[in-house]
Amino acid sequence: MQKKTRLSLFNANTFFWQTLAGLIVAMTLSGFLVFAVAWGFLNPDHTLLLNHPGEDRVMFAEEVVSLGGKPALTSWLQHQNPGPDHARVYAVDSSGHDIAGHKIPDGALEHARALVRQGGNTLGIRSFNVEGEEIIVFTARKPVNFFKDSTRVLLFAPHGAPLWLTCIISLLVASAVAAGLAWRLTRPLRQIEGAMVQAASGDLNVRISESVKGSSSEFIELAKKFDMMAATIQQLIDRQQNLFHSVSHELRSPLARINCAVELARRSPDITPKMLDRIESDVQKLDSLVGDLLTYTRLNAEVSIPFSEIDISEIVEDIADNASLEGAARKVQVVCDLPKDDLIMTGNADLLAHAIENVVRNALRFSPDGGKVTIHGGMVSDSSLQISIQDEGPGIPPEEMAKIFDPFFRGANQATGSGYGLGLPITMQAAQHHGGMVQAEKIRPHGLKITITLPLKHTGKSEKA
């Protein structure tokens, strides 16, 4: 998998190469812009060096004249080399020409003569008589043509390097710096890409938020979102696998009993009616299980459920009446306490009826003979209502309280064959689809209370075609 990540760097259309190219272009343009501005300020048409080091050179020229006269001065001027500042000493005769034959920078002679007329000799400009002729000696920096002059001192370039070599070296240095910056900027993206490849191959345990620490806040947030996504997908897959395992286990038992009943009926025709009754009972259980599975699957999927205005008190009363008939055989009393006014809300009547009936049936199942199940309903605020179902059964141990809404969970107090563990999970999902919630509370000394809280108004989605 890592090989694919490396190979992606050779694709010119990657963020790394785009960032690298952008940095190189930006650095190159910025460098030329800064140099052009600086060159315009530092390289005027001519510059007279009136102070050090110009005055030192003029004084040295005067010493040369005093020692060897005009020939010595001419020889020294002809052999002098301009320094890194591109300045040289000029000795101009009365005809306006340099005695060494050098071309005088435009405007330099006029500027020097004007200064001599204004203040006489200065340290940077001297006028003296040489063999009967007036000579003006001064130091001037000649204007430099950057593209033609081969003598330049630039960073990373050898002294006197030609322009093409200087440009190549500068470009290489800029490319190296840009490559380092681009590599650092794109490193979090490569890590996230590698994590995505791992996740796509099935490894959903990969986490990258720790590895991108020190990067920009955008990459850190992106890594956190990836970790959340991977964790959520892992939970969904684990839940799906657990669901498949539980469903296969729950289906296996009634199917095995049906198969056994069929074999017994074939061997002993006289017990066929009894076996048919057993088969019918198991088929009903299978039908109930499949129905609950379809409901639970639909609630977990993004399937739209139609909402309308309903009277929840009417639904609760019907469920209480049916529960009273069912509990009469064991003398379990069902008490329904509802307000006189209707409890009108927005919701799905069938789904809420299924959810409330699951809780009431659980309460009947766990209530002892002669016990009581209390159903209470009413408003808790101007915008919400509550339906609570309380029984007198053994209750739920504290360590199991957080698990009772997990699919196929069976508590220690639940008898074998008494339900499949989908009732309360369906109730929870139904309440959440209505914008509500479900809470479980242990009643002392014994019993369990389930409270369903629902908003009166909740935006329902229209059913998909």
* pLDDT reading at 439 higher than 80: yes
Place of tokens 């209390």: 374
pLDDT of residue 453: 95
In the structure, what pLDDT confidence band is assigned to residue 344 with cuts at 50, 70 and 90?
very high
Helix (DSSP H) and strand (DSSP E) numbers for the chain? 10, 11
Distances (CA, A) of 113 to 88, 96, 109, 294: 17, 10, 6, 106
CA pair distance 412, 430, nearest whole angstrom = 25
Task: State the DSSP string of 203-232.
Answer: -TT---TTTTTTS-HHHHHHHHHHHHHHHH
* pLDDT reading at 160 higher than 60: no
* pLDDT reading at 210 higher than 80: yes
In the structure, what pLDDT confidence band is assigned to residue 37 with cuts at 50, 70 and 90?
low
Name the residue among 424, 439, 432, 434 with its Cα closest to residue 345: 434
Question: In 3-state terms, what secondary structure has residue 126?
Answer: strand
Task: Name the most confidently modeled range: 16-30, 155-169, 270-284.
Answer: 270-284
pLDDT of residue 311: 94
pLDDT of residue 145: 54
Instruction: Calculate what percentage of the chain has a pLDDT beyond 90.
Output: 22
- Mean pLDDT across the stretch 110-123? 74
* pLDDT reading at 77 higher than 60: yes
Place of tokens 């003029």: 58
**Low-confidence winner among 3-17, 70-84, 93-107, 331-345 (lowest mean pLDDT):** 3-17
Between CA 226 and CA 232, with CA 230 as vertex, the angle to 5 degrees is 115
* pLDDT reading at 49 higher than 70: no
pLDDT of residue 373: 95
pLDDT of residue 386: 94
The CATH topology of domain 217-298 is: Helix Hairpins (1.10.287)
In the structure, what pLDDT confidence band is assigned to residue 166 with cuts at 50, 70 and 90?
low
**Low-confidence winner among 7-16, 297-306, 367-376 (lowest mean pLDDT):** 7-16
**Low-confidence winner among 76-80, 159-163, 449-453 (lowest mean pLDDT):** 159-163
CATH of span 47-141: 3.30.450.160
CA pair distance 211, 190, nearest whole angstrom = 11
pLDDT of residue 61: 85
* pLDDT reading at 320 higher than 90: yes
The CATH topology of domain 304-455 is: Heat Shock Protein 90 (3.30.565)
pLDDT of residue 418: 55
Length of the chain measured in residues:
465
CA pair distance 366, 330, nearest whole angstrom = 11
* pLDDT reading at 419 higher than 90: no
In the structure, what pLDDT confidence band is assigned to residue 24 with cuts at 50, 70 and 90?
confident
CA pair distance 165, 171, nearest whole angstrom = 10
Q: How does DSSP classify residue 330?
A: G
Higher-confidence residue: 128 or 6? 128
- Mean pLDDT across the stretch 173-188? 76
What are the residue boundaries of the structural domains of the chain, listed by start? Answer: 2-43+149-198, 47-141, 217-298, 304-455
Reported pTM? 0.51
For 333, residues 6+ apart whose C-beta sits below 8 A from its C-beta are: 324, 327, 371, 372, 373
* pLDDT reading at 91 higher than 70: yes
Contact (Cβ atoms closer than 8 angstroms) between residue 5 and residue 190: yes
Question: Both tokens of residue 143?
Answer: 């204007």
**47 phi and psi angles, rounded to 5 deg:** -140, 120
Contact (Cβ atoms closer than 8 angstroms) between residue 453 and residue 380: yes
**Low-confidence winner among 15-19, 222-226, 351-355 (lowest mean pLDDT):** 15-19
Angle at which helices 349-366 and 272-300 cross, to 10°: 130
* pLDDT reading at 465 higher than 50: no
Higher-confidence residue: 112 or 453? 453
**Low-confidence winner among 8-17, 130-139, 408-417 (lowest mean pLDDT):** 8-17
- Mean pLDDT across the stretch 118-132? 73
In the structure, what pLDDT confidence band is assigned to residue 437 with cuts at 50, 70 and 90?
very high
Instruction: Calculate what percentage of the chain has a pLDDT beyond 70.
Output: 79
In the structure, what pLDDT confidence band is assigned to residue 353 with cuts at 50, 70 and 90?
very high
Q: Please, what is the average pLDDT of the chain?
A: 79
Angle at which helices 423-433 and 349-366 cross, to 10°: 150
In the structure, what pLDDT confidence band is assigned to residue 151 with cuts at 50, 70 and 90?
very low
Distances (CA, A) of 68 to 54, 72, 91, 420: 21, 5, 15, 121
In the structure, what pLDDT confidence band is assigned to residue 190 with cuts at 50, 70 and 90?
confident
